[in-house]
Amino acid sequence: MTTAFAKKPTLGKGIFTPTEIARFLKKPTAKINRWMKTYWDGKFANPTGHGASWKANGSKAVDFHTMIEMVVMGNLADEGARTREIVKAHMVLAEKYNSHHPFAMKKVLDQIRTDGRKVYLEIDGTIISLDGTHQINLDFIKLLLKNLDFDSGDLASRYWPMGKEKAVVVDPKRKFGHPVIAGKNIYPETIYGMVKAGDSPGFIAELYELSEKEVQDAIDYCSAA
């Protein structure tokens, strides 16, 4: 299979490498690379022949919506859904909603179900079989919905990897989508590096005009990763 690449990233859409996506999902980078090549640059590639990824500094990268789709795929896989069923669901939904990013749409995340093996869509009590018989609400989908902001077009616009009560946000319009302290454009890694070097959270908070909670959220984010 020939891998097709998008020509270049688009300003405001974010840049996410397999390593960064693996960090969000706590999965091996090799697996994310494989998904990217096989699905988003292969089966899900748009009719013009361009896949979702492009080359960035010797590594492939994707935009914010593709990253969110990979987060959804990773969590569906964690629930036991078979990869081929997730792929089938994506392709059916992409056609149904005429979207290259159906797994990043609020209406899909509101309605998607799995029985631990196959994937379904439930609309007004009716099951669209993305092939099966039973369905359950998924706790991870409910959590993901709480951790996402959506734009007026129903697509995910910001991702809060630790939840909205924490200060770390992924916004494709800020710093190319690299996690930052909300409203401050400060990398969590910057704060974490200073703490590891011996600076106190109070000093860092004063230096960057942050609250101590924002400093602690940055430390927690980096520590978990």
Q: Is residue 162 part of a domain?
A: no
Q: Which residues span the domain enclosing 202?
A: 180-224
Shared domain for 73 and 129, answered yes or no, is: yes
Q: Is residue 166 part of a domain?
A: no
How confident is the model over 1-52, as pLDDT tens digits? 333 344 455 657 888 999 999 988 889 999 999 999 999 988 888 665 567 8
Shared domain for 113 and 199, answered yes or no, is: no
Task: Tell me the pLDDT band of 136, cut-offs 50, 70 and 90.
Answer: very low
Q: Is residue 220 part of a domain?
A: yes
d(CA 53, CA 125): 36
Residues forming a β-bridge with 169: 180
How confident is the model over 93-126, as pLDDT tens digits? 888 888 889 999 998 888 887 776 777 776 665 5
Tell me, what's the pLDDT at 77?
85
Q: Is residue 159 part of a domain?
A: no
Tell me, what's the pLDDT at 47?
61
Q: Is residue 64 part of a domain?
A: yes
Shared domain for 101 and 210, answered yes or no, is: no
Q: Is residue 168 part of a domain?
A: no
How confident is the model over 39-98, as pLDDT tens digits? 998 888 866 556 788 886 677 899 999 999 999 998 888 877 888 888 888 888 888 888
pTM over 0.85: no
Tell me, what's the pLDDT at 100?
87
Shared domain for 184 and 142, answered yes or no, is: no
Residue 15 burial (10 A CB sphere; 0-12, 13-18, 19+) = buried
Q: Is residue 153 part of a domain?
A: no
How confident is the model over 148-176, as pLDDT tens digits? 999 988 899 999 999 999 999 999 999 88
Shared domain for 103 and 32, answered yes or no, is: yes
Q: Is residue 50 part of a domain?
A: yes
Task: Decide if 190 contacts 221 (C-beta within 8 A).
Answer: no
Shared domain for 38 and 135, answered yes or no, is: yes
Task: Decide if 106 contacts 63 (C-beta within 8 A).
Answer: no
Which of 194 and 95 is assigned the larger pLDDT? 194
Last residue of a domain, one of 146, 167, 201: 146
